[in-house]
Amino acid sequence: MLKVMLLDDEKSALDEMEYLLKGREEVEVVASYTEPLKAIGEFRYINPDVVFLDIEMPVVNGLNAAREFLGFNSNINIVFATAYDEYAVNAFEMNAIDYLLKPLTKDRLDKAIEKLLKINSLKNSSYKKTVMAGPDRKVYKARLRKDCRI
């Protein structure tokens, strides 16, 4: 289950995104904000897996809000949902998972969710592997992701 936090200064945009996400049983919208400062202040108590956020907002823009979220949790997944394509490079430089242009479509949002589910699956599918090493044959254990090799 993906715990999702939404942030957009336009209530109608939040309502639309929440409506589109409701059809996905793997998604739970745990918080929705129109005020960036409030979202930033409550972020660490909500502990979402992903934040969907707009970029052009008053007081704090979405890029700066994303930096704040990443400062609290460097593993947070960020997806920008905005009407402006000119911020895409900046968004991906901060390792955004996706960049959605408004108006959002169900198909495009579904693709972003599928990508997030794959990422979440990789994070949760780590496993323990025992490695024999050294002259005295000490046993070392490590948590590895599926795509890692020793």
Domain residues of the chain, as ranges? 2-125
Q: What is the pLDDT of residue 143?
A: 52
CA 105, CA 120: separation in Å to the nearest integer? 22
CA 138 and chain centroid, separation: 39
Q: What is the DSSP string of 4-17?
A: EEEE-S-HHHHHHH
Query: Tens-of-pLDDT digits for all 150 residues of the chain?
Result: 999 999 999 999 999 999 999 989 999 999 999 999 999 999 999 999 999 999 999 999 999 999 999 999 999 999 999 999 999 999 999 999 999 999 999 999 999 999 999 998 887 765 434 344 444 444 444 454 555 444
User: 38-58, pLDDT tens digit by residue?
Assistant: 999 999 999 999 999 999 999
- CATH class, domain 2-125, is alpha beta
